Amino acid sequence: MDSVEIQRPEVLILLDCMGVNLAKNTKIPDDALNKRFGQTLDGAQRFADLLAPITPVNPSSLSKWKSTDVLLKAVSRLNMAEAYQNMISGRNRVAAPTSTSQEDTFTEVRQVLMGIANHYQQGHKTFVMNDNEGLWCIIARVVDVHIVPSTKDVPIFSILYKVVHRPSNMGLNTHLGQIFGKTVVSISTTQLERKYLLKLFAMNTRRLFSDYKPRRERHEGTTA
């Protein structure tokens, strides 16, 4: 079974693609390196000025995102709409990513998040993030979208997610069909992109209000 944990060389790649350049043979201890990675992830999501003031976060106490507001525009800090269109084609089928290069992971993750926002705006809430290799995937459902209190146009997503591995007796897509019994939106991702997302989800899960317990469907796991 493939590990979903980010390995040290992958942390260095992810830091590099987010602008933190360290030598591949750096002697920085793993704990310090992972701390640096977490701090960089928080910088990317503007944790200090957007989320820290309301942590622990209780989504139930926040105003809901207005359905008339365009999520895709709000999620994107850069004009990546054209790149997003290159990634997603069709409503319910796997689309090829713009790049599978590990060095492009940060850019590609941003496009994945844009894809989720756009599909959610179209009425889709459940997503499968996988690849052609089909060894493991992330199942994610957007429970709701709220507004960061200190802003008028910054969304905060409440997401239930779970890692699913391919069973030994069937393909992953067949297994997913048994889980859902219907077609859901599938977004193509690399393993490193999914590992990045799992790290981000896990960090934010620890910042949720302990009493926040959204309703789960039978296949769902952790909240982020």
pLDDT of 143 reads 95
Task: With beta carbons less than 8 A apart as the criterion, state whether 156 and 59 touch.
Answer: yes
Nearest to 163 by CA among 128, 140, 180, 138: 138
pTM as predicted: 0.86
Kindly report which listed range (54-63, 85-94, 102-111, 162-171) carries the lowest average pLDDT score: 85-94
Higher pLDDT, 81 or 11: 11
Given the DSSP bridges, would you call strands 126-130 and 136-147 parallel, antiparallel or unpaired?
antiparallel
Arithmetic mean of pLDDT, 58-86: 72
Tokens of 29: 């201890």
DSSP 8-state class, residue 54? G
CA dist 74 and 168 (Å) reads 41
Residue 192 burial by CB count (10 A; 0-12/13-18/19+): exposed, middle or buried? buried
